[in-house]
């Protein structure tokens, strides 16, 4: 072979030897919406503290579904390209069943150490991350659905935030009649066939004292509680406090309508608050209040838990180091940074009393009362089928293609079929 080839081969050989001094490379996968600009510096800090590990991040698509798509491709191929990933709160059960998340119990020093560690987090996310008694993910930040309301309008009519759904309806009607504004909506929520619509249904069901399944595993949707829940939504539509095309309203549509000043009461996630207060063109700045969801007479308030968790790729080549990274990312300091800089609602209880956090986001003090009661959506490996059924049925119900009874029956029999597979 000629001279050039010989030189190149020698260089390649040398390069091969040089990489022998192994620096462990870790890859963290986050979605486009999870503030890579905040997580980047966190990783830099970790790299500085751990010189033999180099962690970088990879940014995926912006929504839960798109990221799920990508992660399932990578994990089905048993690729070790990713070590740590940020997954939605509804995923741990599926990932556990598919073998896509590494069980973390064995990485703690002892079961007691694990218990103490987890006690510092909010119970809702931890429950979502624990499948069949094993821990599959560590909470990064959390979320829940809140009742947003127009403080100024309620004050004008001498009303307090409603504690029951009936109160909400009468309050909304009072305000709508008084304002005499044809654009004003009394009550807005999500009815499109999106994941959030599961919460629209479950919250009404929970606040009626029911649940999708009872302690013995029977499906309990076509029950008086279910009828009460859907009956309430029928009332919102028939009384006119909700717009008739609610079946096409998604999460951000709701937020935008409220932000334009057209809504009195709204169910939405935590992200909306930052928009209301900080967006340059917000018509509701300083006029927004947050409260726990109302309930039916004689029952407790409840809300859906949201948020994201750190999980480990079981095909990762550096699991111990990955666990170290996860603990760093879930540490109080990191979560404080996330809360302050990225407006992520903290998953650690202590941070709700932390002065730095409260200074940056004083509303978290109000949020705490709501979040402490947040409940997980059905924790089952078959969640995608369950979610698909509930949200499409609710969407059909809001589109008036199904009556309340038909919808309840469909969900009941559908869930029985799914879970009997």
Residues in region 92-131 near other proteins by CB under 8 A: 94, 97-99
Could you say which residues in the range 274-333 bind other proteins, by CB under 8 A? 275, 279-283
Q: Can you tell me which of 9, 10, 12, 62 binds other proteins, judged by CB under 8 A? A: 62
Q: Can you tell me which of 244, 278, 320, 403 binds other proteins, judged by CB under 8 A? A: 244
Distance CA 285, CA 257 (A): 14
Contacts of 71 (CB under 8 A, 6+ apart): 29, 60, 82, 85, 87, 100
Tell me how many residues contact other proteins (CB under 8 A).
Answer: 74
For the CB of residue 82, give the shortest distance to other proteins in the complex, in Å: 9
Find the part of the chain contacting other proteins (CB under 8 A) among 193-201, 217-225, 297-305, 334-342: 193-201
Determine the angle formed by the axes of helices 224-238 and 383-398, rounding to 10 degrees: 40
Does 188 interact with other proteins (rule: CB under 8 A)?
no
Does 179 interact with other proteins (rule: CB under 8 A)?
no
For the CB of residue 383, give the shortest distance to other proteins in the complex, in Å: 8
Could you say which residues in the range 347-406 bind other proteins, by CB under 8 A? 381-382, 384-385, 388, 392-393, 395-396, 398-402
Q: Can you tell me which of 101, 128, 194, 305 binds other proteins, judged by CB under 8 A? A: 194
Find the part of the chain contacting other proteins (CB under 8 A) among 43-51, 74-82, 123-131, 357-365: 74-82
Which residue is it, tokens 């560590």?
138
For the CB of residue 399, give the shortest distance to other proteins in the complex, in Å: 3
Asked if residue 305 lies in contact with residue 375, where contact means CB atoms within 8 angstroms, the answer is yes
Could you say which residues in the range 42-61 bind other proteins, by CB under 8 A? 58-61
End-to-end CA distance of the chain: 64
Print burial letters for 132-167: b (CB count within 10 Å at least 16), e (below 16): eeebbbbbbbbbbbbbbbbeebbeeeebebbebbee
Print burial letters for 48-78: b (CB count within 10 Å at least 16), e (below 16): eebeebebebebbeeebeebbebbeebbeee
For the CB of residue 59, give the shortest distance to other proteins in the complex, in Å: 5
Token digits for 118? 């987890």
Indicate the residue among 211 and 393 with the shorter CB distance to other proteins. 393
Indicate the residue among 192 and 291 with the shorter CB distance to other proteins. 192
Distance CA 316, CA 176 (A): 57
For the CB of residue 158, give the shortest distance to other proteins in the complex, in Å: 28
Partners of 219 in beta bridges: 213
What is the enclosing helix (H) or strand (E) of 407?
helix 404-419
Does 342 interact with other proteins (rule: CB under 8 A)?
no
């Amino acid at each position: 072979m000629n001279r050039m080839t010989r030189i190149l081969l020698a260089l390649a050989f040398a390069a091969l030897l040089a990489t022998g001094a192994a620096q462990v490379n870790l890859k963290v996968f986050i979605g486009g919406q999870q503030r890579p600009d905040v997580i980047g510096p966190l990783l830099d800090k970790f790299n500085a503290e751990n010189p033999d590990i180099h962690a970088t991040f990879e940014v995926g698509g912006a929504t839960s579904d798109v990221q799920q798509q990508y992660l399932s491709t990578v994990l089905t191929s048993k690729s070790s390209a990713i070590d740590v990933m940020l997954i939605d709160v509804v995923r741990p059960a599926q990932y556990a069943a598919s073998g896509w998340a590494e069980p973390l119990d064995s990485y703690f020093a002892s079961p007691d150490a694990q218990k103490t560690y987890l006690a510092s987090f909010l119970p809702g996310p931890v429950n979502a991350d624990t499948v069949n008694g094993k821990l599959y993910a560590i909470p990064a930040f959390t979320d829940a659905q809140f009742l947003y309301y127009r403080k100024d309008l309620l004050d004008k009519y001498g009303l307090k935030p409603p504690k029951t759904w009936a109160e909400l309806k009468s309050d909304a009607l009072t305000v709508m009649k008084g304002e005499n504004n044809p654009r004003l909506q009394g009550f807005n929520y999500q009815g499109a066939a999106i994941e959030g619509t599961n919460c629209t249904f479950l919250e009404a069901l929970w606040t009626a004292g029911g649940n999708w399944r009872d302690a013995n595993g029977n499906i309990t949707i076509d029950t008086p509680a279910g009828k009460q829940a859907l009956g309430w939504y029928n009332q919102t539509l028939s009384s006119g406090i909700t717009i008739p095309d609610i079946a096409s309203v998604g999460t951000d549509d709701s937020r935008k309508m409220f932000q334009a000043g057209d809504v009195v009461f709204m169910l939405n996630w935590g992200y909306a608050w930052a928009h209301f207060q900080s967006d340059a063109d917000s018509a509701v700045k300083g006029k927004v209040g947050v409260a726990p969801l109302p309930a039916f007479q004689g029952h407790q308030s409840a809300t859906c838990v949201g948020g994201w968790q750190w999980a480990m790729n079981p095909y990762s080549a550096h699991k111990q180091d990955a666990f170290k990274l996860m603990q760093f990312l879930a540490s109080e300091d990191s979560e404080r940074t996330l809360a302050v800089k990225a407006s992520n609602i903290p998953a650690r209880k202590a941070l709700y009393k932390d002065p730095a956090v409260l200074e940056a986001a004083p509303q978290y003090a109000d949020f705490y009362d709501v979040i402490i009661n947040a409940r997980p959506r059905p924790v089952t490996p078959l969640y995608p089928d369950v979610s698909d059924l509930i949200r499409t049925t609710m969407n059909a119900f809001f589109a008036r293609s199904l009556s309340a009874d038909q919808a309840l029956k469909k969900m009941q029999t559908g869930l029985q079929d799914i879970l009997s597979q």
